[in-house]
Amino acid sequence: MSGIFPLEWLYWSISWLLLSWHSLWDAILPSGEVLGTNWSWILAIVFLVLTVRTLLFPLFVKQIKSQRAMQALQPKVKELQAKYKHDRQEMQRQLMELYRKEKANPLMGCLPMLLQAPVFIGLLHVLRRVHPGNTQTDLYGWTPDQFDSFLNSRLFNAPIWSSFNTPDAQLQELNSSTITVKIICAVLIACMVATTYMTSRQMILKTGWAEDRQQKMMQRLMLYGIPATLLVSGVMFPIGVVLYWVISNAFSLGQQMWVLRKFPPPKMSGSNGAKSPAAGKPGSKAAEKARAEAVARAKELAPKPGAKPANSKKGGTRKGAGK
């Protein structure tokens, strides 16, 4: 079976984590809805996010360190690009050699997101199977009671299994309002797109835009392409999956803020006493200081009021000689 369905192990793992957290919170929290929400399932999704992000945290730190290394290598990268601008193949070879020597990985910046993608796909696959028309209730280790519990679970009166384009007939089977479902889905999709954009933007603002064309293209894809894709595809995702994405992004924003503060950007050339590239720019502090020093020297050399000119000796000598 694993040969035919290579992702079955992933679906079982995601189901096990989700059901384990739900069993824990279901035993702690009182049964029933509060504010039209079954909080045991909501907290199960929240702690599924926390579990995944905790496991990926070491890779996230490596991502930041790799980006710092790439940032520190930018002067050398520019030199190679200028030197081999007419030989792109040799330029790429030299860049790869530089990255290998300095132990910097240009692809490391996308690794945490790529590793989260299978978890998202697994959760999407599992939760899309929970709907009123499915009679196979024992999927991926679920019991019929757990299936029914999730089927009747809600987020502000919107079924967690439903999506923006869920047919009205399925919602009516559980006496759910189509308008309520669409409003909740629209709000969550907007939050998903916004937080995805904010997460990428936060990273780019702290680390700066890459000089390498391929890396810059990848940054633009993460900043604009992925949010745009989610805006279109989000209508097909169940509320539980969109909620997972929003919580994951919120966690990422806080995690990135902490890591970026702990690992600040490297000091570029000029910060340790060497001449800064901006020293000669008009309006810069170095330029203003140089101008002030020049004015002070000019004032020192200027003749004082009442003082004889510097060539007065010559005049006096000629006067004496004429006598």
Per-residue confidence band for 295, with pLDDT thresholds at 50, 70 and 90? low
290-301 b/e with 16+ CB inside 10 Å = b?
Answer: eeeeeeeeeeee
What is the distance in angstroms between the CA of the first residue and the CA of the last residue of the chain? 124
Length of the chain: 323
Q: Which residue has the higher pLDDT, 229 or 284?
A: 229
Q: Which of 75-84, 102-111, 161-170 has the highest mean pLDDT?
A: 161-170
State pLDDT tens for residues 239-276.
999 999 999 999 988 888 887 777 666 554 443 433 43
**Mean of the per-residue pLDDT values of the chain:** 79
Its pTM stands at: 0.72
- CA R_g for the chain: 32
State pLDDT tens for residues 135-162.
888 889 999 999 999 999 999 999 999 9
Q: Which residue has the higher pLDDT, 74 or 186?
A: 186
- What is the arithmetic mean of pLDDT over 57-63? 77
Whether 207 has a pLDDT exceeding 50, the answer reads yes
246: closest CA among 191, 205, 203, 291? Answer: 191
Whether 311 has a pLDDT exceeding 80, the answer reads no
Whether 303 has a pLDDT exceeding 70, the answer reads no
SS (H, E, C) the chain: CCCCCCCHHHHHHHHHHHHHHHHHHHHHCCCCCECCECHHHHHHHHHHHHHHHHHHHHHHHHHHHHHHHHHHCHHHHHHHHHHCCCCHHHHHHHHHHHHHHHCCCHHHHHHHHHHHHHHHHHHHHHHCCCCCCCCCCCHHHCCHHHHHHHHCCEECCEECCCCCCCCHHHHHHCCCCHHHHHHHHHHHHHHHHHHHHHHHHHHHHHHCCCCCHHHHHHHHHHHHHHHHHHHHHHHHCCHHHHHHHHHHHHHHHHHHHHHHHHCCCCCCCCCCCCCCCCCCCCCCHHHHHHHHHHHHHHHHHCCCCCCCCCCHHHHHHHHHHHC
Q: Up-side HSE of residue 64: CA atoms within 13 Å toward CB?
A: 21
pLDDT of residue 321: 44
pLDDT of residue 116: 80
244: closest CA among 81, 120, 91? Answer: 120
Per-residue confidence band for 286, with pLDDT thresholds at 50, 70 and 90? low
Whether 300 has a pLDDT exceeding 60, the answer reads no
State pLDDT tens for residues 78-100.
888 888 888 888 888 888 888 88
Q: Which residue has the higher pLDDT, 270 or 21?
A: 21
- What is the arithmetic mean of pLDDT over 101-125? 77
Whether 280 has a pLDDT exceeding 60, the answer reads no
Per-residue confidence band for 317, with pLDDT thresholds at 50, 70 and 90? very low
Window from 15-24, 47-56, 72-81, 256-265 with minimum mean pLDDT:
256-265
pLDDT of residue 32: 82
What percentage of the chain exceeds 70 in pLDDT?
A: 75
Class of residue 8 by CB neighbours under 10 A (exposed 0-12, middle 13-18, buried 19+): middle
CA distance 109 to 98: 17
Window from 54-63, 133-142, 171-180, 196-205 with minimum mean pLDDT:
54-63
Per-residue confidence band for 278, with pLDDT thresholds at 50, 70 and 90? very low
pLDDT of residue 270: 41
Give, in order, the Cα–Cα distances in Å from 27 to each of 20, 31, 200.
11, 9, 38
